[in-house]
């Protein structure tokens, strides 16, 4: 699948694209608190668009390990003004909202969001129905456990086989609920209930997950990048870009990134070497 239907827009995935991260939270692991004000959040989002992001992913609830949940009302209050302002400033932009809550999905879709990026793969009560009715694209992510507990003791017999089985099942559930394949993407959930060896194994075998729907990866500034490089969260650009290149060369079509300009440049090189997907 080389396109993704995002409500009233179609995203071309013949070459890998970058999803820019815009967290409007006080506690995200890398940039928590930096973009709480609507004006600073919108300015940063537009800066990421100038750097080449094809999607801006707005998140109002941190999903870092140990993160506390946020109420639907608080998440809507954080996210919606930013979405509305971005939509006004860049009407052709594909805006994504990083949420699992049906209330947020409905409000975001009404405000013009094109993609729902759900770490819980629409398993929360009412989320599947809200997403199906929204017309938005949906990214379904694998996570073992929940953000509060997921990194305590993640365990797999065969991480690639288990992640693939979960994502395949969620795709089929979504399709049965009326979400067509051209509205779906999958994410193996790097760092979400995975140890270092699980993340590396998934990356080595990423192409085994590719199929009828595109693969999105979120590798940017993750703790395992720090484990491998010895760098703090704000100093992981080089390691993150290296992982983005590996992922794209192994079939990823969307790369979620904090450091957009560097990632866009790297993916241009990948596209030139690999050629566009047919």
Buried b / exposed e over 120-141, threshold 16 CB at 10 Å, is bbbeeeebbebbbebebbbbbb
Q: How sure is the predictor about 68, in pLDDT bands with cuts at 50, 70 and 90?
A: confident
CATH number at residue 141: 3.20.20.20
**Is pTM beyond 0.85 here?**
yes
pLDDT of residue 70 exceeding 70, the answer is yes
> Among the residues of 116-236, which ranges form H helices?
127-134, 159-176, 196-204, 223-229
Q: Give the pair of three-digit tokens for residue 44.
A: 């940063």
User: What is the DSSP-derived secondary structure letter of residue 119?
Assistant: T
Helix axis angle, 102-110 relative to 127-134, nearest 10°?
10
Catalytic site residue from 164, 170, 222, 253: 222
Q: Give the pair of three-digit tokens for residue 5.
A: 């239907």
pLDDT of residue 278 exceeding 70, the answer is no
101 is catalytic: no
**155-161: average pLDDT:** 95
What tens digit of pLDDT does each residue of 23-60 get? Answer: 998 744 454 456 668 999 999 999 999 999 999 999 99
Alpha-carbon span 138 to 6, nearest angstrom: 8
Element (H, E) at 244: helix 237-249
Catalytic site residue from 5, 164, 170, 256: 256
Split into its structural domains, the chain has a count of 1
Query: What is the span of the domain harbouring residue 187?
Result: 3-274
**83-96: average pLDDT:** 96
268 is catalytic: no
| Secondary structure (3-state) at 185 | strand
Q: How sure is the predictor about 146, in pLDDT bands with cuts at 50, 70 and 90?
A: confident
Alpha-carbon span 8 to 114, nearest angstrom: 7
Q: How sure is the predictor about 91, in pLDDT bands with cuts at 50, 70 and 90?
A: very high
């Amino acid at each position: 699948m080389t396109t993704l239907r995002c409500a009233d827009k179609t995203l071309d995935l013949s070459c890998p694209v970058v999803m820019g991260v815009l967290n409007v939270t006080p506690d995200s692991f890398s940039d928590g608190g930096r973009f709480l004000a609507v004006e600073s959040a919108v300015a940063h989002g537009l800066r990421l668009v100038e750097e080449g992001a094809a999607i801006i992913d707005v998140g109002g609830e941190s999903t870092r390990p140990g993160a506390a949940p946020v109420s639907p009302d608080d998440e809507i209050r954080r996210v919606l003004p930013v979405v509305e302002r971005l939509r006004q400033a860049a009407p052709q932009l594909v805006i994504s909202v990083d949420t699992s809550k049906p209330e947020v999905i409905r409000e975001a879709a009404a405000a013009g969001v094109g993609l729902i990026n759900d770490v819980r793969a629409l398993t929360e009560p009412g989320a599947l129905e809200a997403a199906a009715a929204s017309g938005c694209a949906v990214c379904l992510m694998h996570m073992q456990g929940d953000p509060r507990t997921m990194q305590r003791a993640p365990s797999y017999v065969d991480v690639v086989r288990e992640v693939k089985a979960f994502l395949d099942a969620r795709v089929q559930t979504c399709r049965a609920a009326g979400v067509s394949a051209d509205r779906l993407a999958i994410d193996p959930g790097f760092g979400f209930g995975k140890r270092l060896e699980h993340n590396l194994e998934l990356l080595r075998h990423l192409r085994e997950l590719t199929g009828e729907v595109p693969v999105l990866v979120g590798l940017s500034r993750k703790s395992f990048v720090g484990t491998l490089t010895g760098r703090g969260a704000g100093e992981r650009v080089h390691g993150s870009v290296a992982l983005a290149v590996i992922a794209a060369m192994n079939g990823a079509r969307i790369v979620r990134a904090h450091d957009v300009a560097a990632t866009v440049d790297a993916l241009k090189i990948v596209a030139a070497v690999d050629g566009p997907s047919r």
